[in-house]
Structure 1
Amino acid sequence: MSITLTEAAADRVQSFLTNRGHGLGVRLGVKTSGCSGLAYVLEFVDDLDEDDQVFEDRGVKVIIDKKSLLYLDGTELDYGKEGLNEGFKFNNPNVTDQCGCGESFKV
């Protein structure tokens, strides 16, 4: 099981953590939402939970709870800019369908 980051994503997370002044890393997760069923959650982590799995890639700790790992195993987190839009992108090989707006997905 693994989670990876592109160089752009790792740089962006490191930048956020530096500006924040503290934090262990970033949490990736899923929640029930949207028309396709699941949506991604991305947040900073200050303390680990008992069931957390910790991956490290490019110097960044990525923390995932066991339930979310079932849906996110093999995912690559990317960061990019397209025109006026910028943000993180989840390249998840487990996705079988997603809604038209790209906000939710199905595994």
Structure 2
Amino acid sequence: MSDLASAQIKEMLHNQHADNLFLRVGVVDGGCSGLSYDMKFDDIQAKDDLAFEMKGFQLVIDSKSMAFLEGLKIDYVAQGMTGGFTMDNPNVKASCGCGASFRTATYRGSAKKC
């Protein structure tokens, strides 16, 4: 997690006005390549979730997604009046043209139209 991404997440969490929220990052079936990232704030942790203390907030990953996210680097890029999180994932072997979905060498997911 880059310093810029961490700062953006902390600011977003602060704006939610809820002390019990954490960042959940996972992988779900979908997108034209078969797998998509799922990144959201959550307040319910399952017993098989993996929790990590990041730079000022808690990151939670469900155990099924962990194999797809090993080595993932999350950054935040600001461009003019827009910006967004970027994912640099060494497990990705192919991705769609828009970059919203991907597949790995061992799992193709369930492709759906974007």
Q: Do Structure 1 and Structure 2 share a fold, with TM-score over 0.5? A: yes
Q: Which has the higher strand share?
A: 1
Structure 1 residue 88 and structure 2 residue 105: aligned? no
Over residues 19-44 of structure 1, what are the superposed CA-to-partner deviations in whole Å (9 max), with x where a residue is unaligned? 11113320001111112110000010
Structure 2: 5+ residue runs without aligned partners? 105-114
TM-score normalized with structure 1 length: 0.89
Larger radius of gyration: 2
User: What pairs with 1:25-104 in structure 2 (closer than 5 Å)?
Assistant: 25-104=22-101
Give % identity: 40
Number of residue pairs matched by the alignment: 103
CA distance in 2, matches of 1:74, 1:56: 16
TM-score computed with the length of structure 2 as normaliser: 0.84
Which 5+ residue runs of structure 1 have no aligned equivalent? none
For 2:28 and 2:103, how far apart are their aligned partners in 1?
Answer: 11
Root mean square deviation of aligned Cα: 1.2
